[in-house]
């Protein structure tokens, strides 16, 4: 099938590449000419396990094309995906300007019937706006061409995006026209062989499904962070509690890890956008607002532990100290730092007069872009290099390579012999036995 994808970010590029991988003829279009140029030369602008070789192979095989030429792109596809960003507006609602700009572009160039697929995460009612925008633009041209607008939200996880796209748990298709559902069934047939993963529904339910999924996951995280904070107050170990509740199949093991707060380009903005949608429909989403508030506070929690430790000591607090920070990406296996907890932490450390030596396996370039050159930041090439001359270690992202450090070497390296473990990776007793003070989230000296 001939497929066009507007937007070559995490979602558009991965979707386009996976569709090409199963034999579809895909054109990816983006307004970012540098990105398109790079992709056409085999330079993949994001880190996603397995993505770069797949992009290159499918590009070389002639099934995956990159362009800035929107007219050519619209002419190509039988199915046209919208996979552009929906960042938060000032009031927390989703900013639809990019989605609606693509809708106008489609209306300007459309010459034959297509199915337009909304893959961006968009508030309920957006498919109607996309349909109206395309219809109005067609009418301005005096053109009368049939088209469908379908909601097909994306559930891939950054860090496992290719795997998720090739083996989806479910494929949600929201459509009013059965013929459009049938077309997407054919498009996704190669991903749907083992058993039927397609969940067809009406457009509005599909739009809400995406927000409900992210809001549920964010709620689990904020819930566990809240229990961890209570554990700190009452002297309980949150990891014991986690094991105690995860074994209940009604609760389950997934997404019950306390930590330094959720980040990324989806949970924070989607929880806020859903709350905003509710408000626009005269409903106050009290739970969603609390999920967001708990997360916002949690992003400052690691720094509170740092302050608590240093204010209790005889020296003059955090000012003048050097902190090794392991992990800058918002989660492992990605270079994405959008809304990452590390950003809040580093700013708090700098505001308090501390210096940072940071290491992230993949986000170094992104960190250089985000923070720029500054005297109180050294971006290091290895976890060991970050420890050189550091007083304390703060673990922010749970990359696998941080899981089993040599604690004796840590003790030798760290001037103040203290570890702040923002992801509860380590056994407090083992760390303390090596002569290091250990602070976790809801465990260790935090409690």
Task: Tell me the catalytic residues.
Answer: 266
CB of 390 to ligand NAD, least distance (A): 32
Q: What's the closest the beta carbon of residue 51 comes to ligand NAD, in angstroms?
A: 12
Nearer to ligand NAD, 98 or 350 (CB): 98
The whole-angstrom separation of Cα 433 and Cα 238 is: 20
Q: Which is nearer to ligand NAD, 210 or 443 (CB)?
A: 210
CA distance 270 to 285: 13
Q: What is the DSSP letter of 444?
A: B
Q: Does residue 71 contact residue 77 with C-beta atoms inside 8 Å?
A: no
Residue with tokens 């506070």: 297
Q: Are 395 and 368 spatial neighbours (Cβ–Cβ below 8 Å)?
A: no
Helices (H), 253-340: 267-280, 286-298, 301-312
Task: Report, in Å, the least distance between residue 433 CB and ligand NAD.
Answer: 39
Residue found under tokens 């380590």: 426
Check if the beta carbon of residue 28 is closer than 8 Å to that of residue 69: no
Residue facing ligand NAD at closest CB distance: 9
Q: Give the C-alpha separation, 259 to 276, whole Å.
A: 26
* In the complex, least distance from residue 254 CB atom to ligand NAD, rounded to whole angstroms: 17
Residue 209: Cβ within 10 Å count: 19
> Which is closer to ligand NAD, CB of 266 or CB of 410?
266
| Closer residue to ligand NAD (CB): 339 or 391 | 339
Tell me 88's DSSP state: B
The footprint of ligand NAD (CB under 6 A) covers: 6-12, 29-32, 35, 83-86, 98, 101-102, 120-121, 154, 156, 158, 265-266
Q: CB of residue 140 vs ligand NAD: minimum separation in angstroms?
A: 18
Nearer Cβ to ligand NAD (343/355) = 343
Q: Which is nearer to ligand NAD, 203 or 305 (CB)?
A: 203
185: exposed, middle or buried (Cβ count in 10 Å: 0-12, 13-18, 19+): middle
Write out the two tokens for 152.
């097909």
Distance in Å, CB of 134 to ligand NAD, minimum: 14
Residue 392 C-beta: closest distance to ligand NAD, Å: 32
Q: Which helix (H) or strand (E) holds 67?
A: strand 64-67
Residues 6+ apart with CB under 8 A from 283: none
Six-digit token string for 222 = 């904020």
Q: Which of 30, 37, 33 is nearest to 12 (CA)?
A: 30
Residue 46 CA to residue 267 CA, distance in Å, equals: 19
Q: Nearer Cβ to ligand NAD, position 267 or 407? A: 267
CB-based contact 380:386 (threshold 8 Å): yes
Q: Which is nearer to ligand NAD, 237 or 333 (CB)?
A: 333
Kind and range of the H or E run holding 364: helix 364-371
∠370-373-378 over CA atoms, to 5°?
95
CB of 304 to ligand NAD, least distance (A): 29
Q: Which residues pair with 438 in a beta bridge?
A: 419
């Amino acid at each position: 099938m001939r497929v066009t994808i507007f937007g070559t970010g995490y979602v558009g590029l991965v979707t386009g590449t996976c569709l090409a991988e199963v034999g579809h003829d895909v054109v990816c279009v983006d307004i970012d000419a540098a990105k398109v140029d790079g992709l056409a030369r085999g330079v993949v602008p994001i880190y996603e396990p397995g993505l770069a070789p797949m992009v290159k192979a499918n590009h070389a095989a002639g099934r995956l094309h990159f362009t800035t030429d929107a007219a050519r792109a619209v002419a190509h596809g039988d199915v046209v995906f919208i996979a552009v960003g929906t960042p938060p507006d000032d009031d927390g609602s989703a900013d639809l300007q990019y989605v609606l700009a693509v809708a106008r572009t489609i209306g300007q160039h459309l010459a034959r019937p297509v199915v337009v697929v909304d893959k961006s995460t968009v508030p309920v009612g957006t498919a109607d706006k996309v349909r109206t925008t395309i219809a109005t633009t067609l009418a301005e041209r005096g053109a009368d061409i049939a088209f469908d607008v379908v909601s097909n939200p994306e559930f891939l996880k950054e860090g496992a995006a290719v795997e998720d796209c090739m083996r989806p748990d479910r494929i949600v298709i929201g459509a009013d026209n059965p013929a459009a559902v049938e077309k997407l069934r054919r498009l996704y047939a190669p991903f749907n062989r083992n058993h039927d993963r397609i969940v067809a529904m009406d457009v509005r339910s599909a739009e809400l499904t995406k927000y409900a999924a992210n809001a549920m996951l964010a709620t689990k995280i904020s819930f566990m962070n809240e229990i961890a904070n209570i554990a700190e107050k009452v002297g309980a170990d949150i990891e014991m509690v986690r094991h105690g509740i995860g074994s209940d199949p009604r609760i389950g093991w997934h997404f019950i890890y306390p930590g330094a707060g959720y980040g990324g380009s989806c949970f924070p903005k989607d929880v806020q956008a859903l709350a905003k949608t509710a408000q626009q429909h005269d409903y106050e989403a009290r739970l969603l607002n609390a999920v967001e508030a708990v997360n916002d506070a949690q992003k400052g929690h690691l720094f509170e532990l740092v302050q608590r430790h240093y204010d209790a000591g005889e020296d003059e607090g955090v000012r003048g100290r050097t902190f090794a920070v392991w992990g800058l990406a918002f989660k492992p296996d990605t270079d994405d730092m959008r809304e990452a907890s590390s950003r809040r932490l580093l700013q708090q450390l700098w505001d308090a007069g501390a210096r940072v030596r940071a290491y992230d396996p993949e986000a170094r370039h992104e960190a250089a872009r985000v923070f720029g050159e500054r005297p109180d930041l050294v971006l290091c090439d290895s976890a060991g290099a970050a420890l050189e001359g550091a007083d304390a270690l703060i673990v922010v992202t749970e990359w696998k390579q941080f899981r089993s450090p040599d604690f004796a070497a840590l003790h030798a390296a760290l001037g103040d012999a203290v570890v702040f473990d923002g992801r509860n990776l380590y056994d407090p007793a083992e760390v303390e036995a090596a002569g290091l003070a250990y602070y976790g989230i809801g465990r260790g000296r935090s409690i």
